[in-house]
Amino acid sequence: MFDPDGPADSSRLYGLDHTFDEATVVIVPVPFDATASSRRGTMAAPEAIRYASAQVDLHDLEFGDVWRAGIALEPLDERVQRWNVEAREAVDRVRIDGSNADRQRANAIGDDVERYVHDQTARILDAGKIPAILGGDHSVPLGAVRAAVARHPGLGVLHVDAHADMRDHYEGFTHSHASIFYNLVTGDPRPATVVQVGIRDVGPQEWVRVRETAGLRAWSDPEIGRALVNGQTWGALVEEILAPLPAEVWLSVDIDGLQPNLCPNTGTPVPGGLDWTQVTHLVRRVAESGRRVVGFDLVEVGPDEWDANVGARLLYKLCGAAVKSRS
Ligand SMILES: [Mn+2]
């Protein structure tokens, strides 16, 4: 019999053995990191997080016995693993010789990943459950948010990240990790509202686009830092940050939105960012504010032991917030 206080079986996420039907939260691992521009490796995050999750004690002091709601980790899909190998090769060849055929190949695989993630998310939502996409790089959740918006028109997105991810393409790759929010806010269906938090590394054109995009509010790291330095509390700031978000919300968390000591081996680490107390308070307030968490993603977690440890704990908090938002 499962003992929540006993040692966990590291072959299962948090040692749990919930089936799809028993779970409230269904996590889809997407080991894809081909478009990472700085450092690859986040494809290994789902496995590393599953292994590290054995260390997470199951009574969360903010969200309680989250595990009781049921958390299921879907199996790794061989198609995604194959797409990642092929896309990595295509991207590498583009970087060497600018090959157009390889760029088209990489973009076509990006379409495949989007369709796969979309269909997985749709299946979970249509079963009345909470989908969670576990990357991989930040190109991965595009199809998930689109599937959620299609079913929940007016959906808002709360996006934690060091980067705005608002480039129209990056290195010629339409599905780049640096383009996901551009693709989201210019595509169809698109979220009504996007609130970004922790932004601190943007291109000149990209920042213009961020400020000119209707329905998008970016809280940069310097803006947050200035408010805190001038005596505003994080608690008050979070209420301001959440204010524009509608009743239904998707949480998109790029781990590099946190301070790099919490994600030293993420694809693109940047100094600054949210600390642990800040991010958990933010996530908890979404759930406590009466909003409903339709689904969420966690991306860009590095494959190393500490990165995976933090990732597993943040994933449990996100499950907790999503479950709480339903009760
Ligand atoms: Mn990102």
- Does any domain span residue 6? no
**What is the value of pTM for the model shown?**
0.97
Cα dihedral sign, 13-18-19-20: negative
In a domain, 147, yes or no: yes
Confidence at residue 99, expressed as pLDDT on a 0 to 100 scale: 84
In a domain, 8, yes or no: no
Per-residue pLDDT for 148 more than 90?
yes
Percent of the chain with pLDDT over 70: 100
Q: From the CA of 164, how far away is ligand 1's center (Å)? A: 7
How many angstroms does the Cα of residue 32 sit away from the middle of ligand 1? 14
Domain-located, residue 4: no
Task: Output the pLDDT for position 146.
Answer: 98
Could you tell me the pLDDT band of residue 1, with boundaries at 50, 70 and 90?
low
Span 239-254, pLDDT tens digits = 999 999 999 999 999 9
DSSP string covering 78-100, please? HHHHHHHHHHHHHHHHHHHH--H
Distance 40 CA to ligand 1 centre (A): 14
Distance 157 CA to ligand 1 centre (A): 13
Report the chain's terminal Cα–Cα distance, integer Å: 27
Q: Which band of pLDDT confidence, cut at 50, 70 and 90, is reported for residue 39?
A: confident
The Å distance, Cα 138 to ligand 1 centre, comes to 5
Contact 139, 40 (CB under 8 A): no
Cβ–Cβ under 8 Å, residues 84 and 32: yes
Per the model's pLDDT, the better-predicted residue between 124 and 39 turns out to be 124
Residue 5 inside a domain? The answer is no
Rounded average pLDDT over 195-209: 97
How confident is the model over 253-299, as pLDDT tens digits? Answer: 999 999 999 999 999 999 999 999 999 999 999 999 999 999 999 99
Whether residue 2 lies inside any domain: the answer is no
* CA of residue 136 to ligand 1 center, whole Å: 11
Task: Find, among 217, 229, 156, the residue nearest to 191 by Cα.
Answer: 156
Here the tokens at position 21 are 């039907």
Given a cut of 90, is residue 221 above it in pLDDT? Answer: yes
Identify the CATH number of the domain in which residue 139 sits. 3.40.800.10
Q: Ligand 1 center to residue 298 CA distance, Å?
A: 10
In terms of DSSP H, where are the helices of the chain? 45-52, 78-97, 100-126, 142-151, 180-186, 204-212, 221-229, 234-242, 276-288, 305-324
3 within some domain = no
CA-to-CA distance for 151 and 2, rounded, in angstroms?
35
Range of the domain at 254: 13-324
Residue 231 lies in a domain: yes
Give the tokens for residue 108: 């076509």
pLDDT for 223 equals: 98
Average pLDDT over residues 81-97: 93
Dist. CA 118 → ligand 1 center (Å): 18
144 Cα to the center of ligand 1, angstroms: 15
Distance (angstroms) between ligand 1 centre and the Cα of 299 equals 8
Separation of 290 CA from ligand 1 center, angstroms?
27
Residue 37 pLDDT more than 80? no
Rounded distance from Cα 268 to ligand 1 centre (Å): 9
- For residues 226 and 168, the model is more confident at 226
Give the distance (Å) from ligand 1 centre to CA of residue 8: 31
Instruction: Name the residue among 93, 121, 92 with its Cα closest to residue 30.
Output: 121
Please provide the average confidence, as pLDDT, over all residues in the chain. Answer: 96
Distance CA(22)–CA(69), nearest Å, equals 8
Distance CA 224, CA 90 (A): 39
CA–centroid distance, residue 181 to ligand 1 (Å): 9
Q: Which residue has the tokens 């990489």?
A: 106
Distance 179 CA to ligand 1 centre (A): 9
In this prediction, residue 265 carries a pLDDT of 96
**What distance in angstroms lies between residue 21's CA and the mean position of ligand 1's atoms?**
31
255 alpha carbon – ligand 1 mean position (Å): 8
Query: How many structural domains does the chain have?
Result: 1
> From ligand 1's centre to the CA of 12, what distance in Å?
27
The dihedral built from the CA positions of residue 56, 69, 71 and 287, taken in this order, carries a sign that is: negative
CA of 163 to the centre of ligand 1 (A): 5
d(CA 257, ligand 1 centre) in Å: 8
Distance from residue 137's CA to the centre of ligand 1 (Å): 8
Task: Give the distance (Å) from ligand 1 centre to CA of residue 271.
Answer: 15
- Tell me which DSSP letter residue 26 carries: E
Which whole number is the average pLDDT over 118-128? Answer: 98
| pLDDT at residue 282, rounded to an integer | 98
Tokens 């986040």 belong to: 42
CA of 160 to the centre of ligand 1 (A): 8
pLDDT at 218 over 80: yes
